[in-house]
């Protein structure tokens, strides 16, 4: 993993009742646009300071001011995360409880308690520069100062499915990253390569392999969702139940159905518990953990983190 888990390990989490949704947290495009504009403007300023041979102290001072302004933008749009709070709830027997002066890290440890280090990011990047069964990271992908660096283990699509099914069979959903807009109808909630027959419509061929689409910028990870079920016939998956985050009006009350062929073509990443990996896979990850192959910042396997 390495995205949310880095934040959780460092800061913890809070219940939604303590830090409610805002307009920008549920519709983040405008906030992201403003923040990206600010970051690019700051990049112009920093490059000019370097070009003009400003002192290290002046550059650091400028960066501190920029980061303070960035924080203010996020605080205005999302709110300020609480450092302490009271948590009130009723248990299954309707008995009232209140837990006072919790910190976000204490709340996570007491009420969630996941071992975030027990999960592994798997990718399916079938390009020539990424041999399977090896560990990769992406340059400048880290999102938390002092946090764990992201480690992706590249596997075949079939192995990715096998491990996702193991976790679903154990009653746990599976986080995954995909190119959500390809061969997808958000109103119907259907994702399938046969959804639109463009070849027949235009009497030509648009066919490309998964590797070719990645190499030529035709496809990359654009959105994260959750696998909540799988339909297995004669031992093989035929379709997958997907929970999206676009509200109940998208798909069927927020749920989509992806064909197994769509999974093969447009799913690039899943996160599963390490216990489901084979002994050989676990041994390879352990052996390569401190020296993974480093991919360029613009590699499509890092695209989801830049969204």
Least confident of 11-15, 64-68, 243-247, 252-256: 243-247
Residue 214 and residue 125 in contact, taking contact as beta carbons nearer than 8 Å: yes
Per-residue model confidence (pLDDT) at position 149? 82
Residue 262 predicted with pLDDT over 70: yes
Per-residue model confidence (pLDDT) at position 34? 96
What pTM, to 2 d.p., does this model score? 0.85
Least confident of 55-64, 168-177, 181-190, 242-251: 242-251
Q: Rounded to whole angstroms, how far apart are CA atoms 151 and 298?
A: 16
Place of tokens 């419509």: 201
Per-residue model confidence (pLDDT) at position 141? 79
Q: What is the tens place of the pLDDT at every residue in 241-261?
A: 999 988 888 888 999 999 999
Q: Rounded to whole angstroms, how far apart are CA atoms 122 and 281?
A: 11
Per-residue model confidence (pLDDT) at position 305? 64
Per-residue model confidence (pLDDT) at position 46? 98
Q: Which residue has the higher pLDDT, 9 or 2?
A: 9
CA–CA distance from 303 to each of 15, 186, 220, 269 (Å)? 29, 21, 7, 11
Q: Which residues of 264-293 are buried (b: 16+ CB within 10 A; e: fewer)?
A: bbbbbbbbbbbebbeeebeebbeebeeebe
Q: What is the tens place of the pLDDT at every residue in 117-168?
A: 899 999 999 999 999 999 999 998 777 887 778 899 999 999 999 999 999 9
Tokens standing for 120? 């592994």
Q: What is the tens place of the pLDDT at every residue in 79-108?
A: 999 999 999 999 999 999 999 999 999 999
Question: CB neighbours of 47 closer than 8 A, spacing ≥ 6?
Answer: none
């Amino acid at each position: 993993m390495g995205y949310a888990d880095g934040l959780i390990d460092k800061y913890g989490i809070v219940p939604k009742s303590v830090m409610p949704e805002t307009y920008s947290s549920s519709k983040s495009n405008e906030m992201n646009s403003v923040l990206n504009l600010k970051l690019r403007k700051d990049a112009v300023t920093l490059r000019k300071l370097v070009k003009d041979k400003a002192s290290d102290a002046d550059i650091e001072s400028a960066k501190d001011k920029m980061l303070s302004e960035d924080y203010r933008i996020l605080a205005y749009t999302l709110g300020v995360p609480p450092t302490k709070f009271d948590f009130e709830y009723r248990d299954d027997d309707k008995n009232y409880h209140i837990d006072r002066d919790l910190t976000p890290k204490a709340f996570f440890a007491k009420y969630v308690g996941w071992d975030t280090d027990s999960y592994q990011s798997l990718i399916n990047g079938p390009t020539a520069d990424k041999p399977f069964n090896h560990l990769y990271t992406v340059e400048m992908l880290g999102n938390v100062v002092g946090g764990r660096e992201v480690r992706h283990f590249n596997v075949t699509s079939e192995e990715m499915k096998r491990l996702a099914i193991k976790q679903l069979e154990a009653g746990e959903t599976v986080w995954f990253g995909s190119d959500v807009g390809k061969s997808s109808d958000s109103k119907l909630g259907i994702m399938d390569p046969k959804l639109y027959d463009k070849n027949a419509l235009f009497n030509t061929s648009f066919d490309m392999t998964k590797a070719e689409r990645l190499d030529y910028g035709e496809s990359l990870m654009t959105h994260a969702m959750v696998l909540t079920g799988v339909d297995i016939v004669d031992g093989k998956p035929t379709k997958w139940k997907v929970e999206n985050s676009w509200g109940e009006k998208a798909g069927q009350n927020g749920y989509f159905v992806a064909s197994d062929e769509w999974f093969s073509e447009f799913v690039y990443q899943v996160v599963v518990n390490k216990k489901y990996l084979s002994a050989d896979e676990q041994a390879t990850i352990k052996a390569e953990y401190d020296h993974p192959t480093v991919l360029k910042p613009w590699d499509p396997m890092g695209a989801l983190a830049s969204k």
